[in-house]
C-alpha cells in the first residue's frame, strides 16, 4: 500500500462508547501501517480525540462554542455547517477511501462523498436496523445510498443478514467482527475492590451500558428483585454507563424492589478495566444489539457473561460454554441465570476461562485491522484495474 493512501472516516464523535473504542483500536494501527488518516466528527471531537491525534491522526469537527445538552437534537444550522466543512475537506484533501460509521454520518456524508467524486466509499453498520422502523423515509434514503457504496460492512451475522434484506448485493457485503486487545492490563482484583469499597467475598456483577431503554436495565432490576432473597449476602451490581434520562426511574424501581443498597449506578467511566477486574460476572440485558464490545471486554477479563439472545450476542457467547444466554425481555430468566452464576464459583471459573480463550482466538484487534486493510487494498486494486481497462 502506498504510504500516502488517504483514508477519511466520518463519524459522530470520539467520546466514550463502543463505536468510539472500535475506531481508536482500528485506526491507530492503520496509521502506523502507513495510512494517512483523518477523522471527521459531525458533532464534537470528543474527549478521546487526543488518543488518536497522538498517533498522527487528524481530527476535524465543528468548534465547540457552548455546552449542548446530549439529549437535544443537532440544529439544522449546525448540520448544514458540518456538512459544508466536510464537503470542503473532501474536495481539498481528496481522500482515496471514505468510510462512514453510524446512521447520521452516513446520511449526511455519503451524498457529499458521491458529489465530491470520492473513488471508494464504504459504510459500516454496527447495530440492527430497528431504528429504520421509526424513520421509514431515512430507511429509504439509506437504501438508495447503498447502491453507491463500494462495500458495506456488518459486524455480526445478524447485521449482515439485515443488510442483505435491504437489497445490497452479496459481493458488496462484508462481515468483519469487532476486535479488542486480547492481553489487556487489568489491576489485581483485591486492589480494584479496595478502591471501590467492596469486600473480598462479595459477589459482584457488572453491566456496562448507557442508561437507554433498549439496554434492558428495567428487566435486570426486575429480575434481581425476584432473586434477591436467594443471593449471597451483600451482593452488588455495578451499573456503568451514561444516563440518557432513565437513572431516576431505575433508582425508584430499585427502591421498590428493595435492592437499592445492592445496585450502584456509577455513571460514565473511563476506568472500565478496573471495574471489570472487581467483578465476578457480567450482564448484558439488551433488547437489541449489533455486536457488543462490552461482551468481548468482559470475557477478556475472564468474566462469564449472561446475555440476551439478540443480534450478535450469541455469536460471541455460547450458552453453557462461555456464558449463559437467556431470552430478551424476560426478567425471570435473566434473574435465574444470574442466581446460578452467583451461587456457583466453579461454574463461573469454567465459563470465564473458556470465554477468555475464545476472545483471544477469534476476536483480536489484529484480525480486525488486517480485515479492514485487506478490504481497502482490494477495493483500491479493483478501482485501478477498472481505470486501466477504460484507458484507450
Tens digit of each residue's pLDDT, the chain (392 residues) = 455 789 999 999 998 778 898 999 999 999 999 999 999 999 889 888 999 999 999 999 987 655 444 434 467 888 899 999 999 999 999 999 999 999 999 999 999 999 999 999 999 999 888 777 778 888 899 999 999 999 999 999 999 999 999 999 999 999 999 999 887 788 899 999 998 899 999 999 999 999 999 999 999 999 999 999 999 999 999 999 999 999 999 999 999 999 999 999 999 888 889 999 999 999 999 999 889 989 999 999 999 999 999 999 999 999 999 999 999 999 999 999 999 999 999 999 999 999 999 999 999 999 999 999 999 999 999 888 877 776 66
Instruction: State the cell numbers at 170.
Output: 452479496
Give the residue from 219, 325, 324, 210 showing the smallest Cα distance to 272: 210
Dihedral sign for Cα 225, 226, 228, 232, please. Answer: negative
- pLDDT tens, 149-205? 999 999 999 999 999 999 999 999 999 999 998 877 888 999 999 988 999 999 999
User: Would you state the pLDDT for residue 137?
Assistant: 87
Residue 304 CA to residue 344 CA, distance in Å, equals 11
User: Would you state the pLDDT for residue 219?
Assistant: 98
User: Would you state the pLDDT for residue 71?
Assistant: 39
Residue 157 CA to residue 159 CA, distance in Å, equals 5
User: Would you state the pLDDT for residue 205?
Assistant: 98
Residue 110 CA to residue 359 CA, distance in Å, equals 33
**What's the chain's Rg over C-alpha atoms?**
22
List C-alpha distances in Å: 376 to 282, 337, 379. Answer: 35, 42, 5
User: Would you state the pLDDT for residue 270?
Assistant: 82
- pLDDT tens, 276-290? 999 999 999 999 988
In the 3-class helix/strand/coil scheme, how is the chain assigned residue by residue? CCCCCEEEEEECCCCCCHHHHHHHHHHHHHHHCCCEEEEEECCCCCCCHHHHHCCCCEEEECCCCCCCCCCCCCCHHHHHHHHHHHHHHHHHHCCCEEEEECHHHHHHHHHHHHHHCCCEEEEEECCCCHHHHHCHHHHHHHHHHHCCCCEEEECCHHHHHHHHHCCCCHHHEEECCCCECCCCCCCCHHHHHHHHCCCCCCCEEEEECCECHHHCHHHHHHHHHHHHHHCCCCCEEEEECCECCCHHHHHHHHHHCCCCCCEEEEECCCCHHHHHHHCCEEEECCCCCCCCHHHHHHHHCCCCEEEECCCCHHHHCCECCCEEEECCCCHHHHHHHHHHHHCCHHHHHHHHHHHHHHHHHHCEHHHHHHHHHHHHHHHHHHHHHHHHHHCC
Q: Rounded to the nearest 10 degrees, how much is the dihedral formed by the CA atoms of 96, 101, 105, 111?
A: 40
Instruction: Scan for cell 478502591, then name that residue.
Output: 195
Domains belonging to the chain, first-starting first, are 6-179+364-390 (3.40.50.2000), 189-362 (3.40.50.2000)
Burial pattern 194-217, b for ≥16 Cβ within 10 A else e, equals eebebeeebbbbbbbbbbbebbbb
User: Would you state the pLDDT for residue 27?
Assistant: 96
Give the residue from 224, 181, 144, 189 showing the smallest Cα distance to 22: 181
User: Would you state the pLDDT for residue 65?
Assistant: 58
User: Would you state the pLDDT for residue 18?
Assistant: 82
Amino acid at each position: 500500500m502506498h504510504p500516502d493512501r488517504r483514508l477519511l472516516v466520518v463519524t459522530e464523535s470520539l467520546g466514550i462508547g463502543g463505536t468510539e473504542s472500535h475506531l481508536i483500536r482500528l485506526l491507530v494501527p492503520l496509521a502506523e501501517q502507513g495510512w494517512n488518516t483523518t477523522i471527521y466528527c459531525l458533532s464534537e471531537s470528543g474527549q478521546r480525540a487526543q488518543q488518536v491525534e497522538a498517533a498522527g491522526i487528524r481530527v476535524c469537527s465543528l468548534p465547540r462554542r457552548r455546552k449542548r445538552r446530549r439529549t437535544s437534537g443537532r440544529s439544522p444550522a449546525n448540520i448544514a455547517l458540518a456538512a459544508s466543512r466536510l464537503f470542503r475537506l473532501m474536495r481539498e484533501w481528496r481522500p482515496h477511501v471514505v468510510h462512514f460509521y453510524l446512521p447520521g454520518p452516513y446520511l449526511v456524508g455519503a451524498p457529499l462523498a458521491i458529489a465530491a467524486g470520492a473513488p471508494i466509499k464504504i459504510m459500516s453498520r454496527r447495530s440492527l436496523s430497528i431504528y429504520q422502523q421509526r424513520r421509514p423515509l431515512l430507511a429509504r434514503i439509506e437504501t438508495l445510498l447503498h447502491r453507491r457504496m463500494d462495500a458495506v460492512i456488518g459486524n455480526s451475522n445478524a447485521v449482515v443478514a439485515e443488510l442483505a434484506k435491504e437489497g445490497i448485493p452479496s459481493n458488496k457485503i462484508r462481515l468483519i467482527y469487532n476486535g479488542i486487545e486480547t492481553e489487556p492490563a487489568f489491576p489485581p482484583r483485591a486492589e480494584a475492590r479496595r478502591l471501590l469499597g467492596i469486600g473480598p467475598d462479595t459477589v459482584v456483577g457488572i453491566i456496562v451500558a448507557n442508561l437507554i431503554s433498549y439496554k434492558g436495565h428495567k428487566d435486570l432490576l426486575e429480575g434481581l428483585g425476584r432473586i434477591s432473597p436467594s443471593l449471597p449476602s451483600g451482593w452488588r451490581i455495578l451499573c456503568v454507563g451514561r444516563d440518557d434520562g432513565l437513572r431516576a426511574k431505575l433508582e425508584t424501581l430499585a427502591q421498590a424492589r428493595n435492592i437499592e443498597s445492592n445496585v450502584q449506578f456509577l455513571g460514565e467511566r473511563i476506568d472500565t478495566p478496573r471495574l471489570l477486574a472487581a467483578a465476578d460476572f457480567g450482564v448484558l440485558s439488551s433488547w437489541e444489539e449489533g455486536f457488543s464490545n462490552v461482551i468481548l471486554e468482559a470475557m477478556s477479563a475472564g468474566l462469564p457473561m449472561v446475555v440476551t439472545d439478540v443480534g450478535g450476542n450469541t455469536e460471541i457467547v455460547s450458552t453453557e460454554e462461555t456464558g449463559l444466554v437467556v431470552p430478551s425481555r424476560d426478567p425471570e430468566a435473566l434473574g435465574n441465570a444470574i442466581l446460578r452464576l452467583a451461587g456457583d464459583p466453579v461454574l463461573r471459573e469454567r465459563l470465564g476461562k473458556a470465554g477468555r480463550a475464545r476472545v483471544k482466538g477469534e476476536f483480536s484487534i489484529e484480525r480486525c485491522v488486517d480485515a479492514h486493510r485487506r478490504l481497502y487494498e482490494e477495493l483500491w486494486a479493483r478501482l485501478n484495474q477498472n481505470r486501466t481497462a477504460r484507458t484507450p
